[in-house]
Amino acid sequence: MENTLHEKVSQDILLKAYNHMMLAKAMADIYEENRNVTKYVHSTSRGHEAIQLATAYQLKKEDWVSPYYRDESILLGIGFEPYQLMLQLLAKADDPFSGGRSYYSHPSSRDEDKPKIIHQSSATGMQTIPTAGVAQGIKYIQDFNLQQFENNPVVICSLGDNSVTEGEVSEALQFSALHQLPIIFLVQDNEWGISVTKDEARTCDAYEFVAGFTGLSRMRVDGTDFIESFEVMKKAVDFVRNERKPLVVCAKTVLIGHHTSGVRREFYRDEEDLTKHRSKDPGEILRNHLIESGVDEDLLKQITKKARLEAEEAFERAQKAEDPKPETVMQHVFAPTPITEESGTREPQGGEKIVMVDAAIHAIQELMWKHPEALLYGQDVGERIGGVFRETVTLGRKFGSKRVFNTAIQEAYIIGSTTGMSAVGLKPIVEVQFADYIYPGLNQLITEISKSSYLSQGKFPVSNIIRVPIGAYGGGGPYHSGSVESILANIKGIKIAYPSNAADFKGLLKAAYYDPNPVIMLEHKGLYWSKVPGTEDAKTIEPAEDYILPFGKGKVIVEADREETEKGRTLVIVTYGMGVYWAKEAVKKFNGRVEVIDLRTLIPLDEELVFEKVKAHGKCIVLTEEQLNNSFAEAFAHRISKNCFRYLDAPVETMGSLDVPAVPINLVLEKEMLPNAEKLSAKIEEMLNS
């Protein structure tokens, strides 16, 4: 796109921008003068004010913007007051964004009179995927006419130029270009990435880099010149608002202040570099233009003085504001779910048994018929094959390619885009093809999704379902057989289900849909079709459409004999997934002396049921398919020991796979590595006789 500049910027807008620039300067100066008070790490927008304000002034209440950590001038420009920003700077209770939980200029907002802002982390460039997800969601909403807008919404994702080298940025650019999303990627280039220069970090700037993305328009702008920036951003926003196509704007800026208060300019920059950057101070450039155009210099001095007084007053007020109460520290980890009790018909009269994979297909189908905001995407889930395990077969044909569609091999985008999709009111159901492939998406899962509710004070819980086929069977080998629940269970702020049969699967998937929090469904491949010997019970009568099974409710699936329990001759096995079938087979020869609990969900975990049964039996085995060292099973065994110590007749035991780095492809080696009913029987016998 060529930068054809022809719009005259009014003097009112120029004076407004000058006032905001003087506010931003005054705020930065005050922070520097009060380093003993501004003790939390922060960045300011000094040197970037022109492009940021020019961007902010284009935005309407229907729009969405993702500022990055240097974008305080965007926040000032869209209507936030210095006092509100300073509450976050000082981590005060009334910080409108995070309630004292996050850094300065890490906003999140649903204010009705302003553009909306999803939570984003400090991880550079990672906001591109969630923000592209917002644009993806808006396109979906408009395609299906789910909501009416006064103006076509525009999405803006702001980022620094050195973050463009991140792989996840390319995933966001690729998806946006391929699907023609209504998004502007605003790249602010001050030539520094902390102490890394542009010459050390990249072969070209962002404008040159994005040239290879067909369908992605691009513009350059001098981001220190407010007039040029305003005209370019007006053209850019008008283009996206009207054409509904993506665009990259590369703005050349300067870094006048420090990278952050923790990495100060004197650590890595010489005087020559600082002088070069200061010579392009956006405030001075605008001031000179205003004077040349006839504005009284005394008026500009008054604006500068008034901005300083306003910033000082706001800072004094912010210092006096209350800190968060300690008892609020656990608030907003999860949003409250409406699904707390089992409901509906689990076993309809005359119902037929179905396999687990069909339970998933039927549950999603029922949800998608009922809820137009539901959609499904991932690798190979579309109409042609319906998933590599046929786990989405027929859905693409029934709902069309805009609601069920294939993505590229982009696990980070598949997972991270659900943040933005959820923010605009959609319910994305996405799939990672194998558990072993979830690792590229962990960054999004950890830095963006899991923290979103907590750091936005509950404004943006991520409501999604991430389906993950998991587990070993039949020689799948080292990259298609792994178990990842311990890694996932270490991520605070997500929920994890691990069903072992069709009825539980369908009920939990329905509960996951109505849960406003992120949910991972771990689905054992060996149970999908009940083809593994001994897993016939994974087939169940299909529950009715209204059946819902809440998270955090384990189930006793094999009961011990009461008389044996009263004699102190029993133990309990706590397990999930394929472990359920090893346990059911192993206990057959122990004549009522073993009870088995199927956890069904790992987060939340039914500790109450487990502790009750361990106290009753006095002995416990926690059984998993995972390798044992540092696992979920070992951690849970510790909690059982701690809470049931007085009732134990023996240490809580764990049993799982051997501690090798991967599942071998050879069937003999695979069998040796994995637990099974025979190995479990030996462990049970040893414990019962101890």
SS3 category, 626? strand
Closest CA to 607 of 630, 635, 649, 580: 635
Q: How far is CA 599 from CA 362, 606, 608, 657, in A?
A: 23, 7, 11, 19
305's CB contacts (< 8 A; 6+ apart) are none
Strands (E), 381-463: 404-406, 427-431
Of 20, 258, 259, 480, the active-site residue reads 480
Contact 650, 619 (CB under 8 A): yes
Structure tokens at 229: 């920036």
Residue 265 burial by CB count (10 A; 0-12/13-18/19+): exposed, middle or buried?
A: middle
Pure H helices in 535-578: 562-566
Q: Does residue 258 carry a catalytic annotation?
A: no
**In b/e form, how buried is each residue of 305-318, taking b as 16+ CB within 10 angstroms?**
eebbebbbebbeeb
Cα distance between residue 40 and residue 466, in whole Å:
35
Read off φ and ψ for residue 430, nearest 5 degrees. -125, 165
Closest CA to 162 of 131, 132, 203: 203
Closest CA to 18 of 397, 378, 299, 433: 299
Structure tokens at 516: 């406003």
Contact 330, 457 (CB under 8 A): no
DSSP state of 261: T
Cα distance between residue 233 and residue 226, in whole Å:
10
- Which residues are catalytic, by number? 480
